[in-house]
Amino acid sequence: MRLFEWYEDLVRVYLVTELCAGGELYDRIISIGFFTEYDASVLFKQMMRAVLYCNTNSICHRDLKPENFLFVTKEHNSSLKLIDFGLSQIFANPGILSSLINAT
Choice among 9, 39, 63, 84 that is catalytic: 63
Q: Is 39 one of the catalytic residues?
A: no
Exposed / middle / buried, residue 69 (Cβ in 10 Å: 0-12, 13-18, 19+): buried
Beta carbons of 17 and 4 less than 8 angstroms apart: yes
Q: What is the DSSP code (8-state) at residue 79? A: P
Beta carbons of 53 and 85 less than 8 angstroms apart: no
Enzyme catalytic residues: 63
